[in-house]
Amino acid sequence: MDIEHVRSRFVKHFDGATGVVYASPGRINLIGEHTDYNGGFVFPGAVDKGIVAEIRPNGTNTVCCYSIDMKDWVEFGLNEEDAPRTSWAKYIFGVCREMIKRGVDVKGFDTCFAGDVPLGAGMSSSAALESTYAFALNDLFGENKIDKFELAKVGQATEHNYVGVNCGIMDQFASIFGKKGNLIRLDCRSLEYQYFPFDPRGYRLVLVDSVVKHELASSAYNKRRQSCETVVAAIARKYPQVEFLRDCTMEMLQSVKDEVSKEDYMRSEYVIEEIQRVLDVCDALERGDYETVGQKMYETHQGMSKLYEVSCEELDFLNDVAFDCGVTGSRVMGGGFGGCTINLVADELYDTFITNVKERYKAKFGKTPKVYDVVISDGARKLTE
Ligand code: GLA
């Protein structure tokens, strides 16, 4: 994340003056996928890739934004009816609106931003953008009155209300609460969280990006969430205490087998198992048992591919290659439908695996996957005074 790059563009586009620079990261998730909106556990960490933005209040009621990467300029007002049409600008507009709804007196500002989180790779570039602006507007217009939990919710509400993705809280939470060298075990129902120092001796975490993007990812995502809610409603008719799939056992799920569709049943089966896998992985990590961690990652991939059906041919192939190479753990990461696999690789296997996966993927799909080493880093912050 390069401050100088952003600053030089800010100065160029906005009369030579400077503003304040903020940054927020993307995230990885070791395990716990599609569990957040089911009230379950997730296990993410912030990464060393994210969004950097420079911002300066401009004394008007207009926000003037420049996206350095897209080379695109958008201006908008701060009222509900001023929503921009450009997709990247909707995130910034949404954050402004959600901050206003929480009592922050957001005024016009000039801003430009750039990012190095690969788009559509399942590393939460959009949460990085939301968290950057939520953090910045709280600092510039809100006297930092909004706490960090609420800042994460601002990003989530932006997705729900201005982007149309009914996401959970994981991505925004990781982007705001990230801590260098630590993963975060988050209980998405209570928002209780715990940092886990993550320094696997003898292993490395590496992402392999399929460079596939699924066009309908957001509607398919919303549909998955809908399936879970349908099943919860059926179970709650028998067990009124049940609020989320988090509260359900397999027996409860079985008790509604004839009342829900086969598809919704499979989705819920995956979620109930996945919530337990997060807890199992935390236990295994505390024992330094990376073999179990890896095995659970493979189980997650199977579940996401066969039960939740959010994988694709390319991701399944990457997972198979990892397994063939003897990689300890591998699975599709994030919402799915494209993007990366996350791999837990023994040091001595790293080079062979990377060479192998690149060659075999290229031979099969005609394109080379990208590889990112994971560096677990800090969350949202201010980079200049
Ligand atoms: C996306 C969403 C998250 C989460 C993951 C799947 O990244 O934004 O809230 O549901 O998918 O775990």
pLDDT tens digits for range 215-249: 668 999 999 999 999 999 999 999 999 999 999 99
At residue 283, the 3 state secondary structure works out as: helix
Atom of ligand 1 nearest to the CA of 335: 11
pLDDT tens digits for range 175-215: 999 999 999 999 999 999 999 999 889 999 999 999 998 76
The answer on 215 and 177 residing in a single domain is: no
Helices (H) then strands (E): counts for the chain: 11, 13
The answer on 133 and 19 residing in a single domain is: yes
The answer on 150 and 255 residing in a single domain is: no
Question: Which residues span the domain enclosing 258?
Answer: 203-374
Q: Considering its fold, how many domains does the chain have in total?
A: 2
Q: Please tell me the residue having the least CA distance from ligand 1 atom 5.
A: 335
The answer on 350 and 208 residing in a single domain is: yes
Task: Report CA(165)–ligand 1 centroid distance (Å).
Answer: 10
Quick check: 333 pLDDT over 80? yes
> Does 167 contact ligand 1 (Cβ within 6 A)?
yes
> Does 171 contact ligand 1 (Cβ within 6 A)?
yes
Q: Please tell me the residue having the least CA distance from ligand 1 atom 11.
A: 335
The answer on 8 and 129 residing in a single domain is: yes
pLDDT tens digits for range 272-327: 999 999 999 999 999 999 999 999 999 999 999 999 999 999 999 999 999 999 99
Give CA separation, 273 vs 40, 69, 249, in Å: 11, 40, 9
Q: Is residue 331 within 8 Å of residue 293, measured between CB atoms?
A: no
Can you tell me the distance from the alpha carbon of 210 to that of 361, in angstroms, rounded to the nearest whole number? Answer: 9
Tell me the β-bridge partners of 381.
Answer: 23
Q: Please tell me the residue having the least CA distance from ligand 1 atom 9.
A: 168
> Does 170 contact ligand 1 (Cβ within 6 A)?
yes
* pLDDT for residue 25: 98
Q: Is 171 an annotated catalytic residue?
A: yes
The answer on 132 and 275 residing in a single domain is: no
Number of other residues whose CB lies within 10 A of the CB of residue 128? 34
The answer on 159 and 22 residing in a single domain is: yes
* pLDDT for residue 216: 65
- Active-site residue, from 48, 116, 171, 209: 171
Ligand 1 pocket test, pick from 167, 218, 342 with the greatest ligand atom count within 8 Å of Cβ, gives 167
pLDDT tens digits for range 86-124: 999 999 999 999 999 999 999 999 999 999 998 888 999
The answer on 145 and 28 residing in a single domain is: yes
The answer on 312 and 193 residing in a single domain is: no
> Does 168 contact ligand 1 (Cβ within 6 A)?
yes
* pLDDT for residue 120: 84
The answer on 237 and 357 residing in a single domain is: yes
pLDDT tens digits for range 4-14: 999 999 999 99
Q: What is the CATH number of the domain that holds 233?
A: 3.30.70.890
The answer on 169 and 67 residing in a single domain is: yes
Task: Report CA(69)–ligand 1 centroid distance (Å).
Answer: 24
Task: Report CA(34)–ligand 1 centroid distance (Å).
Answer: 6
Q: Please tell me the residue having the least CA distance from ligand 1 atom 10.
A: 34
Can you tell me the distance from the alpha carbon of 177 to that of 370, in angstroms, rounded to the nearest whole number? Answer: 27
* pLDDT for residue 355: 98
Q: Name the amino acid, one letter, at 80.
A: E
The band of 1, judged by pLDDT with boundaries at 50, 70 and 90, is low
pLDDT tens digits for range 99-108: 999 999 999 9
Q: Is residue 197 within 8 Å of residue 213, measured between CB atoms?
A: no
Q: Please tell me the residue having the least CA distance from ligand 1 atom 2.
A: 167
Q: Is residue 234 within 8 Å of residue 260, measured between CB atoms?
A: yes
> Does 335 contact ligand 1 (Cβ within 6 A)?
yes
The answer on 212 and 315 residing in a single domain is: yes
> Does 36 contact ligand 1 (Cβ within 6 A)?
yes
Average pLDDT, stretch 39-57? Answer: 98
Q: CB under 8 Å to 281, separation ≥6 — which residues?
A: 30, 31, 43, 292, 293, 296, 297
Q: What is the CATH number of the domain that holds 67?
A: 3.30.230.10
Quick check: 262 pLDDT over 90? yes
